[in-house]
């Protein structure tokens, strides 16, 4: 119990004093996970719409595959990306291993299947008559996709939030491809792991609390943006 109180005090202190390192790590976390969430959304949502709406051979397999991808263990994604980006790997000459860019790549690998699966599910859950109605109004392909996405915007928000949640909270892949380099690839989760291994549990928990605050802030931001859209 003492430890929890101590951690709360430590978190409070770090936030109030605007500790430069913590501030830096928090911003970096926001930037890296924000970028990977954005990229995963750009790829994942259209791909999710496509596999939910298009009719082509092997479509059901793709749905199953993306559903399975939801369970992609971050450490496996990290290992595969590491093997590709290490100097001994096929993309070693790019010099991307142990950079924020490598972390973004690994996080996109983790979040994209999740966003595809959730957004495909969102669109498939729409009432089947809706598709007929839109088609009957004579909508073209793009108008059709736009209207479908509009109808499903709330569950699509959930898809993006799920993708964001998966990358901001994961530690295995970030640790492996980023290397937890101070001032460079150290994010809130990897910093917390380091503090735990150093036996500084108070600081570690403080970092966790800051992470939760960040997630909460972004969830609120997304929800507000979403509801404003809804009212229009």
Partner 1 sequence: MRLRSLIFSIAAIPALLLAACGTAETPKAPAPSATTAPATPTASPTPTAVKSSGKELILATTTSTQDSGLLDVIVPLYEKQTGDKVKVIAVGSGAALELGRKGNADVLLVHSPAAEEAYMKEGAGINRTRVMYNDFVIVGPAADPAKIKGMKDSAAAMKAIQDAKAPFYSRGDNSGTHAAEQTLWKAANLAVPKGQPWYAETGQGMGATLTVALEKNGYTISDRATWLASAKKDQQPILVEGDAKLFNVYHVIPVNPEKFPAVNKTSAEQFRQFMVAKDTLSVIGNFGKDKYGAPLFIAYTE
- CA proximity to 117, closest of 155, 145, 87: 155
Closest separation in Å from C-beta 177 to partner 1: 11
Tokens 């690998």 correspond to: 109
Q: Which two tokens stand for residue 88?
A: 């001994």
Distance, CA of 12 to CA of 7 (rounded, Å)? 8
The secondary element (H helix, E strand) that includes residue 113 is helix 100-124
Distance, CA of 152 to CA of 145 (rounded, Å)? 11
Distance, CA of 205 to CA of 198 (rounded, Å)? 13
**DSSP label at residue 94:** G
Q: According to the binding rule CB under 8 A, does residue 222 interact with partner 1?
A: yes
Q: Which C-beta is closer to partner 1: that of 68 or that of 114?
A: 114
Closest separation in Å from C-beta 232 to partner 1: 10
Q: According to the binding rule CB under 8 A, does residue 30 interact with partner 1?
A: yes
Stretch that binds partner 1, among 57-65, 69-77, 128-136, 217-225 (CB under 8 A): 217-225
Count of other CB atoms within 10 angstroms of residue 201: 16
Size of the site for partner 1 (CB under 8 A): 59
Stretch that binds partner 1, among 11-19, 61-69, 131-139, 158-166 (CB under 8 A): 158-166
Q: According to the binding rule CB under 8 A, does residue 184 interact with partner 1?
A: yes
CA max distance for the chain? 66
Closest separation in Å from C-beta 37 to partner 1: 5
Residue 182 backbone dihedrals phi, psi, to 5 degrees: -60, 135
Q: According to the binding rule CB under 8 A, does residue 98 interact with partner 1?
A: yes
Q: Let me know if 88 is exposed, middle or buried by CB neighbors in 10 A (0-12, 13-18, 19+).
A: exposed
Q: Which C-beta is closer to partner 1: that of 60 or that of 228?
A: 228
Closest separation in Å from C-beta 3 to partner 1: 11
Binding site for partner 1 (CB under 8 A): 24, 27-28, 30-31, 33-35, 37-39, 41-42, 45-46, 49, 86-88, 92-93, 95-101, 104, 141-142, 145-146, 149-150, 153, 156-157, 159-160, 164, 179-184, 194, 196-200, 218, 221-222, 225-226, 229
């Amino acid at each position: 119990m003492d430890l929890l109180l101590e951690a709360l005090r430590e978190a409070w202190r770090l936030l109030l004093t605007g500790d430069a390192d913590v501030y830096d790590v928090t911003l970096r976390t926001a930037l890296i996970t924000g970028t990977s969430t954005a990229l995963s959304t750009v790829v994942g949502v259209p791909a999710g719409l496509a596999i939910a709406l298009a009719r082509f051979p092997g479509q059901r397999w793709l749905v199953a595959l993306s559903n399975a991808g939801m369970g992609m263990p971050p450490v496996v994604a990290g290992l595969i990306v590491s093997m590709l980006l290490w100097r001994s790997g096929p993309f070693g000459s790019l010099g991307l291993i142990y950079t924020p860019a490598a972390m973004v790549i690994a996080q996109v690998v983790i979040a994209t299947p999740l966003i595809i699966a959730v957004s495909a599910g969102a669109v498939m859950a729409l009432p089947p008559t809706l598709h007929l109605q839109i088609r009957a109004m004579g909508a073209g392909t793009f108008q059709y996709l736009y209207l479908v996405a509009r109808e499903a915007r709330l569950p699509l928000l959930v898809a993006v939030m799920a993708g964001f949640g998966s990358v901001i909270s994961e530690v295995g892949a970030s640790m492996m491809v980023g290397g937890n380099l101070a001032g460079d690839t150290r994010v809130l989760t990897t910093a917390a792991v380091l503090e735990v291994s150093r036996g500084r549990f108070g600081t570690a928990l403080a970092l966790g609390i800051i992470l939760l605050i960040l997630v909460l802030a972004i969830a609120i931001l997304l929800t507000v943006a979403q509801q404003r859209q809804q009212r229009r």
